[in-house]
């Protein structure tokens, strides 16, 4: 956990990352709020807030008396959401920085094409 | 949610000195609070008032709906772990743990024994002979195993090593998950405990200056850095929490920026940096101006 952003957002993101990476499969149970709290060493109410955020987004759903489960189709929806975020958080600042140091769009594109991609790298 | 503590216009004077100055707040049930502030800010006095160990000069205190002073019904539900608890001469940790159930109806002896071995407390050594850290561990164990509905930890870990502090945080969270209760934790180690807290109260000079959800506070301030003129132009009329500069460079902490502000700052070539809970509190409780080599 880094200290600069609300922790419940970071918890929600960590769960999303696990779903994206396929560590948490659709229709499987996710750990309880208290388990999250103990693992990340955070306040259980904060962990609950993060989990509830994903319930509101329809990524997780509650089975009464049993716990939280990953909703069907959530992985595809997260991919779509993360791609939109990727554009806003990485691509636009990248272009802004490139413009600042006088790189043209063509130069930027060829730079990206020349950059090595590590196949093994995941989220 | 049920309110456990309600304080209105609370003031405590010692002669001409005002230790707690017209403070009002509420404490909700089953929440972990951080009571933070500098040395001498009034934290301990506040806790003494809430536990009936000091009389208020002015204002009202309600704990579980009643005045805590000389009130067994209230005090029986409170556990107050002080920075330096005094024990009778010749007392051994064993005596502390054996007498604890007389005062705390929820006392869990099994949990206490587990903590004793984790903290490696020598139960048969005289308390006078314990190290500072071991003495603190005795207090921490009493605070956790008593499971009082309202537990105060006043700077509980003087001398506790990093391993022991981590055990304290882990056991507190674990046990809080299973047995929710209200905890008020006063400490200077804000970075270490910030993730544990749900709500933060900050006292400065006897006044309550922050009463806010911990997650709302996090990310409620941003540091903007860049060349002095650009930073100053961007900051404009915003509330400045902190200002630092060296030569032609400047770094100013301001309150929350929205995403339009962030985009504007980025395109002006400014760097935006996060402010941790600890930094935020340091900045709100210290003198705001600090400039080095400001002759630009």
By CA distance, what is A34's nearest residue in B? B177
| Residue in this structure with the two tokens 């400065």, named with its chain if needed | B204
Residue B206, token pair as written in the block: 């006897």
CA distances, A120 to each of A2, A25, A116 (Å): 25, 20, 12
How many CB atoms neighbour CB A77 within 10 A? Answer: 14
Q: Tell me how far apart the alpha carbons of residues B133 and B121 are, in angstroms, rounded to a whole number.
A: 10
Per-residue tokens: B87? 């024990």
Least confident of A79-88, B244-253, B280-289: B280-289
Distance CA B18, CA B10 (A): 11
- Domain ranges in chain A are 7-73, 75-114
The chain B residues in contact with chain A (CB within 8 A) are: 31-32, 169-170, 173-174, 176-178, 191, 194-198, 214-216, 218-219, 266-267, 269, 274-278
In total, chain A counts a number of residues equal to 123
Residue in chain B closest to A100 (alpha carbons) equals B269
Place B45 in a pLDDT band, splitting at 50, 70 and 90: very high
Residues of chain A contacting B194 with CB distance shorter than 8 Å: 3
Question: Is B38 within 8 Å of A49 (Cβ atoms)?
Answer: no
Packed helices A92-100 and A105-114: angle between N→C axes, nearest 10 degrees: 120
CB contact under 8 A, A38 and B170: yes
Distance CA B141, CA B153 (A): 11
Torsion sign, CA atoms B188, B194, B200, B204 = positive
Q: Which A positions 92-111 lie with beta carbon below 8 A of chain B?
A: 93, 96, 100
Judged against a pLDDT cut of 50, whether residue A71 lies above it is answered with yes
B216, B266, B276 member nearest A4 (Cβ): B276
Whether the pLDDT of residue A69 is over 90: the answer is: yes
Q: What proportion of chain B, given as a percentage, has pLDDT over 90?
A: 64
Contact A7 B195 (CB under 8 A): yes
Sequential DSSP letters for B76-140: TTEEEE-TT----TT--HHHHHHHHHHH-TT--HHHHHHHHHHHT--TTS-GGGS-HHHHHHHHH
Q: What pLDDT digit, counting tens, does each position of B151-190 carry? A: 999 999 888 999 999 999 999 999 999 999 999 999 988 8
Fold of A7-73: Arc Repressor Mutant, subunit A (1.10.10)
pLDDT tens digits, B180-223:
999 999 998 888 898 899 999 999 999 999 999 988 888 788 88
Domains in chain B, CATH or no CATH each: 3-214 (3.40.50.300), 221-292 (3.30.70)
Mean pLDDT for chain B overall: 90
Percent of chain A at pLDDT exceeding 70:
93
Q: How far apart are CA A121 and CA B43, in angstroms?
A: 49
Q: Which residues of A touch B197 (CB under 8 A)?
A: 43
Q: Please report the pLDDT score of residue B287 as a whole number.
A: 61
ipTM here:
0.72
Q: Are B273 and B281 in contact (CB under 8 A)?
A: no
Query: Residues B103-130: pLDDT tens digits?
Result: 999 999 999 999 999 999 999 999 999 9
- Compute and round to an integer the Cα radius of gyration of chain A: 18
State the pLDDT at residue A27: 93
Task: Please indicate whether, in this complex, the C-beta atoms of B266 and A96 are within 8 angstroms of each other.
Answer: yes
pLDDT band at B10 (very low <50, low <70, confident <90, very high): very high
Cα–Cα distance, B55 to A44 (Å, whole number): 35
d(CA A45, CA A37): 8
């Amino acid at each position: 956990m880094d200290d600069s952003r609300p922790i419940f957002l970071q918890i929600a993101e960590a769960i999303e990352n696990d779903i994206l990476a396929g560590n948490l499969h659709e229709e499987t149970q996710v750990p309880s709020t208290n388990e999250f709290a103990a693992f990340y060493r955070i306040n259980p109410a904060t962990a609950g807030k993060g989990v509830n955020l994903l319930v509101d987004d329809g990524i997780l759903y509650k089975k009464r008396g049993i716990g939280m489960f990953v909703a069907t189709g959530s992985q595809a929806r997260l991919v779509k959401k993360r791609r939109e975020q990727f554009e806003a958080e990485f691509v636009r600042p990248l272009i802004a920085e490139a413009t600042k140091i006088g790189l043209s769009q063509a130069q930027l594109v060829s730079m990206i094409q020349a950059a090595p991609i590590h196949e093994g790298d995941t989220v | 949610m049920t309110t456990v503590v309600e304080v209105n216009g609370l003031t405590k004077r010692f002669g001409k000195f005002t230790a707690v100055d017209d403070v009002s707040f509420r404490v909700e049930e089953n929440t972990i609070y951080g009571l933070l502030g500098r040395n001498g800010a009034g934290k301990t006095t506040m806790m003494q008032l809430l536990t009936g160990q000091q009389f208020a000069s002015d204002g009202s205190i309600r704990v579980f709906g009643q005045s805590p002073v000389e009130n067994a019904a209230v005090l029986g539900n409170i556990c107050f772990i002080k920075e330096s608890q005094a024990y009778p001469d010749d007392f051994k940790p064993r005596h502390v743990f054996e007498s604890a159930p007389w005062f705390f109806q929820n006392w869990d002896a099994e949990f206490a024994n587990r903590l004793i071995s984790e903290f490696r407390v020598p139960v048969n050594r005289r308390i006078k002979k314990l190290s500072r850290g071991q003495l603190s561990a005795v207090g921490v164990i009493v605070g956790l195993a008593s499971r009082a509905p309202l537990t105060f930890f006043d700077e509980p870990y003087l001398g506790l090593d990093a391993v022991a502090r981590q055990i304290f945080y882990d056991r507190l969270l674990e046990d809080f998950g299973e047995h929710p209760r209200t905890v008020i934790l006063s400490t200077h180690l804000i970075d270490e405990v910030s993730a544990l807290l749900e709500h933060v109260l900050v006292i400065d000079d006897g006044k309550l200056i922050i009463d806010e959800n911990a997650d709302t506070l996090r990310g409620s301030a941003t540091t903007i850095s860049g060349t002095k003129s650009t930073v100053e132009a961007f900051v404009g009329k915003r509330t400045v929490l902190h200002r630092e500069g060296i030569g032609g460079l400047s770094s100013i902490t301001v309150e929350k920026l929205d995403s339009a502000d962030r985009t504007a700052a980025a395109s002006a070539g400014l760097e935006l940096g996060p402010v941790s809970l600890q930094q935020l509190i340091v900045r709100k409780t210290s003198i705001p101006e600090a400039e080095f080599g400001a002759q630009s």
